[in-house]
Each structure stands twice: as structure tokens, then as C-alpha cells.
A and B are shown apart, each in its own frame.
Chain A
Amino acid sequence: MTEALELLTSASLWAAVLRIATPLIFGVLGALLCERAGVLNLGIEGIMTMGAMVGWLAVFLGADLWTGLLIAAMAGALMGLLHATLTVPLGLSQHVSGLGITLFASALSYYLYRLIVEVGQTPPTIEPFRPLDLGPLTDIPFFGPVLFGQAAPTYLALLAVAILAYVLARTPLGLAIRMTGENPHAVEAQGLNPIRIRIFAVMAGSALMALGGAFLTTAAFNSFFPEMVQGRGWICIALVVFASWRPGKALLGALLFAFFDAYQLRLQTVVDGVPYQLFLMAPYLLSILALVLVARRAEVPEALMAPYRRGER
């Protein structure tokens, strides 16, 4: 028991929390942006897979790590454009289209990976992002490695939270996006085009999702393999509800989730006689529990999943 508590004071646990949270932060921000504009994007799981594959592949073929992330984001935006085309101007079922995008983006990623990369006994690797070393800052006991020893994209994720929170709350663009998710007819009345705003939001959101996937292959691990996203996309969809569609709370949710994930991993090593699968189940069950706790008072965007057609109510 004491061992289980001692784990809580180790810097490596808290450093792992931020590392595990990073792909979730990107993913949950992306899902949040899409939904704030009124579009549910269940393509997230596949888009993260695609980001993971494309980001890794770009670096494997010679691009530098940041270019890899950029290319992953562009691939994500492209998948977002596909989802947006089907669901926004064509008004097709966001559920079915999103699942279709997930199946398509995952299958396409596996296909292209198999086509381009020679896979032997072990998957080929790249040189990933290293934890930063800020000298004296990183040397501070406990806080140094946790706050100043992360891989660079982690800081990009935290920055993205601040930017998205600011844009949504304080800029005309953010107001237009939020209004499109609440009442697209009012947006039209303002002389703006809700269709265009939704397409933009879905593309930008999907790019963020892909960055989350790319973090897995360029920082958390150094290779790509099938099924590596492991439901992180679906967890992000749950986290958006948990966060009441707010970027700040989304960050909190991602950190909380990552804490449980990091803690259960370490708990496995000190608790005997409990099958490891029970620990691995915990994060998924916790996500469901979180949904149950908040669902009743969730402030769902009014026009979420309602297709917009001009002149139709």
C-alpha cells in the first residue's frame, strides 16, 4: 500500500502524465473544435492513425521531425475535408460518415505503410523527438523533469489549448464558430456562410487530431504499427463531453485521464495477483463513468449533428 502511495511522489510518474496526455490534448481539442461548429467527427480514431503513419513515414523518408508533424496535420486536414464535404454541404449522417472516415483512414494508412515500407521481423524506427534539456531548469528537482523535460510537441499541445481557448472566446472567428454550432441560421443572417465555417472548423480540428496521432510515432514511440492508437480517439470524444466543450476543461480532462493511465501502468508493478488486463480496462471504464457523471448537465452545442440547409428549418 505504501508503495502505491510512494509512486505518487515520483517525478517520473508526473512526467509520464504530461507525455501520455499530449496526444489526448491534441485529439480532444480537434474534436472540440469540430463539435463547437456543429459537426461530430467520429473520424478521429482513423485520423489519428493516419497522422501517426504519415508523420512517421515523412521522417522515415528523410523529412525532419517538424516537417513530419506538418505533413501529418495536412493529411488530417484532407481527411477532415472529406468528412466535411459529406456531412456539411451534403448533410449526410455524421455518425455513419465519421465511422466511414475512421475505417477508411485506418485502412489507407495500413495499406500505404505496407506498400512503401519493407517490414521485417521488427518495424523500422526513426530518431524521435527527445526530451528537452534546458540545463539548470531541467535540473530542478522534481519540477525540472516534469515541466521542462518534455518533448517539444508537448509544449505545442499546451500552447494550442491557450490559442484555441482565446480564439473561441475572444475573437470574431471564434464567435462565428460557436454561433455556427448553436444557431447556423443566425450566422447566415449576419452575412456569414455557416457551410464554409463548418468546413474550416472540421479541417482545422482534423489537423489537430492528426498531430495527436503523429506525437505517438515521433515522440512517444519511434515506429508505426497497426492498432497503435488503441481507442485514444474515442476517449477524446468522451473527454469533449466531460469538458463541456471548453478547451481549459478539456486540458484538465486529458491530464486527469493521463494521470490514471500513468498510475495504473506503475501500479501493475507493485500490486501482485491482479491480472494486468484489469488495470488496462480502467481508463476505458473511467471514461464511461465520467460521461455518466456529466451527461445530464452537459451544455451540448444546440445545432450539433443538425445538418444546415439554406432556407430549411
Chain B
Amino acid sequence: MRLERRASVPLALAATAPFAAILAALALAAGLILAAGVNPLTAYVEMLKGALGSRLAITEMLTRAVPLMLTGLAAAVAFRARLWNIGGEGQFYLGALAVAWVGHEMLSGLPGPVGMAVLMVVGMAAGALLLAGPAFLRLRFGVDEVVTTLLLNFVVILFVGLMIEGPLRDPLAFGWPQSVPVDGDFRLPDLVPRTRLHVGLLIALAVAGVVWLILARTVFGTEARAAGFNARAAAFAGVSLPKTIMGVALLSGGLAGLAGAIEVMGVTGTVTTTMSPGFGYAGIVVAMLAALHPAGVVAAAIFVATVFVGADAMSRATGVPSFIADVIVALALLTMLVALLFTSYRIRR
């Protein structure tokens, strides 16, 4: 038995892969739900009800999907160019922190939409700068960016802790460590009244469209893909690798920073060290489930958000620990990896 590379990937097969991967992940996780003494079908039905069963549930799920779309795009952009940005979590936090800093009383007087636009640029810049460091270390000193981006996640979260207990501490929070709030004028308006769903959803969808255009229709997009596919051939064809890699880093870090910015402006209003339940890491799963395609990222983010929001409700109803959501998402990453193998290879006896 051996693997043989397919000459071309059939579209139908490529489109089926994520669904097969998700089904396999759910089937594997069913064993763990059984171990908790609960019928897996009951649990999954409760999960669907919890995430999609009511208007409120759907808006909560979409609220959760917004940052996942953006961190998913951040990972997809980077991974396409073989830039292993595992620092989405840190970039998310730094983007959020920068927005709380600038958005508190510094922009007063600006019209709401202008201030919001400024803050989003600030969040993107913070995330982009944070990834520019590891990208520079890789280009200049040959330091593997996997380890540096991972380690910086811990540094940034400590830095956030330092700032929200020090210079950016909210004096009105009675000792609870949280940052000063973003001014009310610059909070993103609700998309659906009396829910937490905000216009950040539309922004994330628009950003996905823009990223798709950049990747598919610009020279930079082509060069980025070439750098990931075969760096040596790309360099031979005249692609400047340092420039391309740095460009990819700024875009990827910027997207993760934007995720943090939008979460602060749309949902939390202030920054805490627990505001992200691993959005940066989950973004990697989202990107992989999407086969690194921007349109797929939107769908994959909705799936992952459904699992997380649904699992909380399911846990309350059945007593199965809500960590099952993390298990399902991690399994989906591994099964998707295997599914991708079958789309690009066939088994020959």
C-alpha cells in the first residue's frame, strides 16, 4: 500500500473534506461523552439547541464567531506563506490593549465612526508590530518563528496584566483588574437590538472578502503563495522573500490585532487577562478547517463558535464537562489534517 499524489484535486473531494473531518471528530468525541454516562446524540442535540435553537442563541454564537473569523484569517494568511504565526493570542491581546489605551479619553471630540476607524487601525498596528519582531528575527538571524511567537504570547499576557494593574487600571473597578474603558462613542453599535451581536460581524465578513481579494487578485497575494509553495523557486522567479514574508507578517499580525480591537469595541469595553478563551489558538483550527481559504474561514469560524457556545448550554443540561468543546475542536484539526491528505493523495495497492 502506498500514497500517490493526485495530479489535480477534485473540487467535490476538497469541499467534502471538512465535513468528513468534522463528522469524524464528533464520532471520536462521542466516546468521551459516553464515558460521562450521557447519550452522545442527546448531547449533540443539546449543543445544536444551545447554539442555534433561538434568536438569542444564534446571536451569541455569531458574536463568538467574529473574533474567530479574524484570528482564523490571520492564521490562514500566514500559513499560506509558511510563516508559522502561532502568536495570534498575543496579537489579539496587544490589539485589544492598544485600543483601550487610545480609545479612553484620547480621541474625545472625534465623530464616532472616525474614532472607530482610528481605533481599528491602532489595534491592527499593535498586532502587526508584534509579529514583525519574530518575522525580523527569522529573516535576519534565522530564528524559528514558531517558538518566538509562542513565547511572546506569555510575555504579552503578562504585559497586559502589568498595564491593567498599573497605568491603564480602571479606578472605578474596585480593585478588579481591568483596563480603563473605551469611550462610549467608539463602541461598535449593536447589529441586533438587545443582544450582544454588534456590527463587528459585518466588518469581519468584509475583511474576509478583502483578504480573499488580496490573496487571489494581487501580485502580493501570488508572491505570498509562491513563497509558501516553494521558497527557492519563488526567489528564482524574482520574488523578494524578505519583503514578502514581512508583508505577510504585518497582514497576519494586523488581522489578529483587529480581532482584539473589535472584541473590545464590540463586546467587553475593557481589557482583562481572561477576555480571550483561546481565540488565537482556535484561529489556527479555523484556518486549517478552511483549508486556508478566506471564504472557508467564515464557515469554519461559525462551526467552531457553534461548538463552544453549544457546549456551554449542553454542559448545563447534561453535566458533561464543557471542555468537550476543546476536545472536539482539537480533534477536528487532527482529522482535517488527515482528510487533506486524502484530497491530495490517493491510496494505491
Q: Does A231 sit at the interface, judged by CB under 8 A? A: yes
A100 touches B337 (CB 8 A): yes
Count chain A CB atoms within 10 A of each CB in B159, B166, B334 and give the residue with the most: B334
A295 to B143, CA, bound (A): 6
Inter-chain CA distance A82–B334, complex, in Å, is 10
Q: Which of A130-138, A182-190, A272-280 contacts B (4 or more CB under 8 A)?
A: A272-280
Closest beta carbon of chain A to B140's beta carbon, Å:
9
Chain B 143-186, CB-CB to A under 8 Å as 1, else 0, gives 11011101111110011011001100000000000000000000
**Which secondary structure characterizes the binding site on chain A?**
helix
B214 interfacial by beta-carbon distance below 8 Å = no
* Inter-chain contact B284/A104, CB cutoff 8 Å: no
Chain A residues whose C-beta falls within 8 Å of the C-beta of B141 in the assembled complex? 292, 295-296
Q: How many residue pairs between the two chains, A and B, have CB atoms under 8 Å in the bound complex?
A: 127
Indicate if B285 sits at the interface (CB-CB under 8 A).
yes
Q: Could you tell me if B148 and A288 are in contact, using CB atoms closer than 8 angstroms?
A: yes
Chain A residues with CB under 8 A of B337: 86, 92-93, 96-97, 100
The proximity string for A residues 270-313 relative to B, scoring 1 for CB distances below 8 Å and 0 otherwise, is: 00000101101100110110011001101000000000011000
- Measured between beta carbons, the chain A residues less than 8 angstroms from B165 are 275, 277
Is A103 part of the contact surface with B, judged by Cβ < 8 Å?
Answer: yes
Chain A interface residue number, banded: 35 or more
Residue among A104, A108, A287, A298 with the most chain B CB within 10 A?
Answer: A104
Given contacts A99-B86, A103-B326, A230-B154, contact A291 B159 (CB under 8 A): no
Interface residues in B128-142 (C-beta closer than 8 Å to A): 137, 141-142
The answer to whether the Cβ of B84 comes within 8 Å of any Cβ in the partner chain is yes
Classify the secondary structure of B's interface with A.
helix
In the complex, which of the residues B153, B159, B162, B333 contacts A103, with contact meaning CB atoms closer than 8 Å?
Answer: B333
Complex Cα–Cα for A281 and B2 (A)? 48
A197 at the interface (CB under 8 A from B): no
Q: Of B137, B161, B327, which one neighbours A277 at CB under 8 angstroms?
A: B161
> Are B158's CB and A280's CB within 8 A?
yes
Query: Which residues of chain A are within 8 angstroms of B142 by Cβ–Cβ distance?
Result: 295-296, 298
Task: Please measure, in the bound complex, the distance between the C-alpha atom of A275 and the C-alpha atom of B159, giving whole angstroms.
Answer: 10
Taking the complex as formed, is B206 at the interface, i.e. its CB lies under 8 A from any CB of chain A?
no
The reply to whether A107 and B323 form a contact with Cβ atoms under 8 Å apart is: yes
Q: Is A196 an interface residue (CB 8 A)?
A: no
Stretch in contact with the other chain, from A55-63, A109-117, A159-167? A109-117
Could you tell me if A100 and B32 are in contact, using CB atoms closer than 8 angstroms?
no
State A185–B36 Cα separation when bound (angstroms): 47
Please, which residues of chain A bring their CB within 8 A of the CB of B334? 82, 86, 97, 100-101, 104
Cβ of B148 and Cβ of A99 under 8 Å apart?
A: no
Q: Among the listed stretches A16-24, A149-157, A235-243, A261-269, which one makes contact with chain B, having 4 or more residues with CB under 8 Å of it?
A: A235-243
Whether a CB of chain A sits under 8 angstroms from the CB of B321 is yes
Complex Cα–Cα for A281 and B90 (A)? 13
Residues of A within 8 A of B281 (CB): 99, 103
Chain A interface residues (CB < 8 Å from chain B): 42, 82, 86, 90-93, 95-97, 99-101, 103-104, 106-108, 110-111, 114-115, 230-231, 234-235, 237-238, 241, 275, 277-278, 280-281, 284-285, 287-288, 291-292, 295-296, 298, 309-310
Some 18 contacts from A to B, beta carbons below 8 A apart, are A90-B338, A96-B337, A99-B333, A103-B281, A104-B331, A107-B330, A111-B326, A231-B154, A234-B151, A275-B165, A277-B158, A277-B159, A278-B162, A284-B152, A287-B147, A288-B151, A291-B148, A295-B137
Besides the known contacts A96-B288, A99-B284, A292-B137, 16 further A-B residue pairs in the complex with CB atoms under 8 A apart: A97-B334, A106-B326, A107-B327, A108-B327, A111-B32, A115-B36, A230-B154, A231-B154, A241-B144, A278-B162, A281-B155, A284-B152, A288-B147, A288-B148, A291-B137, A296-B141
- Shortest 10 CB-CB distances between A and B: which pairs? A107-B326, A103-B330, A104-B330, A114-B321, A277-B162, A111-B323, A100-B333, A277-B158, A107-B327, A110-B323
Chain B residues in the interface with A (C-beta under 8 A)? 2-3, 32, 35-36, 84, 86, 137, 141-144, 146-148, 150-155, 158-159, 161-162, 165-166, 281, 284-285, 288, 321, 323-324, 326-327, 329-331, 333-334, 337-338, 340-341
